[in-house]
């Protein structure tokens, strides 16, 4: 059953290889680390009175478990699913299954890269979609998701 007052907490999900941020292909992903991403997201959310629980995993099932658990105590999800964006029906089903509004974010401009990155299993069910802003995209996605959650915008 839906809560009347949703918790002021977001789940931040980072998928495979995003633990390597800072050293991974810096020409594409920049030099900021996963810790920087998690801090930026938490600081952005805190400005609106939301807290953030952050998870990163290289394992698809662990990501699904974290999304399922969010249904109990989170109002929405900010997710960079990494390569699973382009491959995982299971991830899409987890997100639609818990029925939490979510923001899809990509550090790079996936549409300017290889064709296999142009398709996302998440985009058509996301309420917010941010690509190509570097790690600042996490702040944009967080602000826009909170705007949707608090009825201040439509994404
Ligand atoms: C990414 C883009 C994906 O295509 C890639 O597999 C990633 C990172 C991004 O943030 O730009 O791992 O999601």
| CA end-to-end span of the chain | 24
- pLDDT band, very low/low/confident/very high, at 4 (cuts 50, 70, 90): low
pLDDT band at residue 6 under the 50/70/90 scheme = confident
Annotated active-site residue 29? The verdict is: yes
Angle at 70 between CA 42 and CA 7, to 5 degrees: 65
Q: Which position has the higher pLDDT, 5 or 37?
A: 37
Distance of CA 77 to the CA centre of its chain: 6
106 is catalytic: yes
User: Which atom in ligand 1 lies closest to the alpha carbon of residue 86?
Assistant: 4
Alpha-carbon span 134 to 42, nearest angstrom: 17
Return the H-helix or E-strand segment holding 4: none
Per the CB < 8 A criterion, the answer to whether 135 and 32 are in contact is yes
CA-based nearest residue to 45, from 154, 125, 155, 141? 141
Paired strand residues for 129: 104
Among 29, 84, 121, 138, the active-site one is 29
pLDDT of residue 136: 98
Ligand 1 atom with least separation from CA of 108: 11
What does the alpha-carbon distance between residue 87 and residue 154 come to, in Å, rounded to a whole number? 28
- φ and ψ of 106, to 5 deg: -130, 135
Q: Out of 84, 106, 129, 138, which one is annotated catalytic? A: 106
Ordered by where they begin, the domains of the chain are 9-149 (3.40.50.9100)
Which residue, 47, 46, 43, 97, is CA-closest to 70? 97
What pLDDT, in 10s, does the model give residues 42-97? 999 999 999 999 999 999 999 999 999 999 999 999 999 999 999 999 999 999 99
């Amino acid at each position: 059953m839906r809560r009347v007052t949703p918790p002021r907490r977001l789940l931040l999900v980072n998928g495979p290889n995003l633990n390597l941020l800072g050293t991974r292909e810096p020409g594409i992903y920049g030099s900021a680390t996963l810790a920087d991403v998690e801090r930026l997201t938490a600081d952005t959310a805190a400005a609106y009175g939301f807290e953030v629980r952050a998870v990163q995993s290289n394992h698809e099932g662990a990501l699904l478990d974290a999304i399922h658990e969010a249904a109990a105590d989170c109002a929405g999800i900010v997710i960079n699913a990494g390569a699973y964006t382009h491959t995982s029906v299971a991830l899409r089903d987890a997100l639609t299954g818990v029925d939490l509004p979510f923001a899809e974010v990509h550090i790079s401009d996936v549409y300017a890269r290889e064709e296999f990155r142009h398709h996302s299993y998440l985009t058509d069910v996301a309420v917010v979609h941010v690509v190509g802003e570097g790690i600042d995209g996490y702040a944009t996605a967080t602000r826009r998701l909170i705007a949707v959650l608090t009825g201040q915008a439509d994404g």
